[in-house]
Amino acid sequence: MRRRDLLLGAGATIISGRASAAQDTFPDRPITITNGYGPGGSTDIAARLMIEQMPPNLGGNARLVVENRAGASGTLASAWMTRQPPDGYSLLISESSSFAIWPSMHESGTPYRPLQDFTWIAAICTAPMVLLVKPDFPARNASEAFEVLRSDRSAQLDYSSSGAGSIPHIAAEMLKYVLGKGALSRNIPYRGGAAAVLSIAKGETAWGVASLGSAAGQMQGDLVRPLAVTGATRFPAFPDVPTFAEVGLRDMEIDIFYLLSGPAGLPPEIYARLNRASVAALTHPQTRERFLGAGMQAWNAENTPESARRIVEAELARFRSIGERTGIKITGG
């Protein structure tokens, strides 16, 4: 798969830390943290929240820059990262779509190997997804929406996603699979979660499954109607939105994992230092609160390079199993 790398002109965010007495050689220039989506989506938000508290824990004159390289559900950015020097100055925040779904469910795979071509540094956060409908969707709750999507009317009710093969796309196809053959809605892919949610708010599409991180702002403004979340429990910031299990669909429990990585071959002393700075940032009370407000939960379990790699292994197995069970696969791209 050969594609042109795309850099969205949204402007970079730079966070600077105070000078430290320790004059280490790393970092002695800005660290660029790339994500594979456009501005305003959950991966972009996670990256910008992540870097706020990292500089003080890296020492020196640490600076971190967030860069957007959107395309193909984050896989363009992932492929680009494998070509960068393993020096700690080029890092990637990616989510399940690029490191698990495309490698395990795309008909021709990806040009990178998730377990061999990256140095996994830390887990950043998780987020459930949420079923959204446009304001005038002909259903008052999730159960009524399921009946609409099972009916002949579903063929006229397009749904949005953050890209072909993204985890919201796969979740919507899983919902159609669970609802049965009558669910005929067509996917309309957008370049990122923010654009996909906006399309529902504007009525360009009728419904969609989105990361709660991408949807939180529109939900708070009552511009879209949330009907159910994919998490095991209701999300603290949106306690009135039931889980899919509560409305009768237990097969829809799917969270998104967001991880920090670099190219393969990153020196152990560098990725260990980046891991420590990441963990310190994620335990900061203000950071944790801001993640929650943005529809995500900062990681609060074991968080080492080894545990991050185990998440990748588990996600690859999970989506490989989903593909085999449902027949859902990604084509084209």
For 151-170, the pLDDT digits (tens) are: 999 999 999 999 999 999 99
SS3 at position 269: helix
- pLDDT of the residue at 60: 65
Q: Is the pLDDT of residue 173 over 90?
A: yes
C-alpha 17/C-alpha 101 separation (Å) is: 36
Q: Is the pLDDT of residue 318 over 80?
A: yes
Q: Which ranges of 180-238 does DSSP label H, i.e. alpha helix? A: 193-201, 212-220
C-alpha 111/C-alpha 109 separation (Å) is: 7
Residue 279 burial class via C-beta count within 10 angstroms: exposed 0-12, middle 13-18, buried 19 and up = middle
SS3 at position 278: helix
Residue 118: closest CA among 316, 255, 324:
316
Q: Is the pLDDT of residue 317 over 60?
A: yes
Q: Is the pLDDT of residue 8 over 60?
A: no
Average pLDDT, the chain: 91
> Which band of pLDDT confidence, cut at 50, 70 and 90, is reported for residue 25?
confident
- pLDDT of the residue at 59: 78
> Which band of pLDDT confidence, cut at 50, 70 and 90, is reported for residue 1?
very low
Range 21-34 average pLDDT: 79
Residue 213: closest CA among 232, 234, 235:
235
pTM score, whole prediction: 0.90
Encoded amino acid at 278, one letter:
S
- What's domain 13-126+256-326's superfamily in CATH? Bordetella uptake gene, domain 1 (3.40.190.150)
> Which band of pLDDT confidence, cut at 50, 70 and 90, is reported for residue 314?
very high
C-alpha 43/C-alpha 226 separation (Å) is: 20
Q: Where does the chain hold its CATH 3.40.190.10 domain(s)? A: 128-252
Work out the percent of the chain whose per-residue pLDDT is above 70. 92
CB neighbour list of residue 310: distance below 8 Å, 6 or more residues apart: none
> Which band of pLDDT confidence, cut at 50, 70 and 90, is reported for residue 332?
confident
Q: Are 94 and 41 in contact (CB under 8 A)?
A: no
- pLDDT of the residue at 20: 34
Dihedral sign computed on CA atoms, order 40, 41, 42, 47: negative
CB atoms closer than 10 angstroms to residue 29 = 11
Q: Is the pLDDT of residue 147 over 80?
A: yes
Segment 116-128, tens digit of pLDDT: 999 999 999 999 9
Residue 246 CA, distance from chain mean position: 24
Q: Where does the chain hold its CATH 3.40.190.150 domain(s)? A: 13-126+256-326
> Which band of pLDDT confidence, cut at 50, 70 and 90, is reported for residue 22?
very low
Residue 130: closest CA among 238, 7, 222, 212:
212
Q: Is the pLDDT of residue 71 over 60?
A: yes
Radius of gyration of the chain (CA): 19
Task: Pick the more confident residue, 23 or 89.
Answer: 89
Segment 219-260, tens digit of pLDDT: 999 999 999 999 999 999 999 999 999 999 999 999 999 999
- pLDDT of the residue at 333: 66
C-alpha 99/C-alpha 313 separation (Å) is: 9
* Helix, strand, coil share (%) of the chain residues, nearest 5: 40, 20, 40
- What's domain 128-252's superfamily in CATH? Periplasmic binding protein-like II (3.40.190.10)
Residue 186 CA, distance from chain mean position: 22
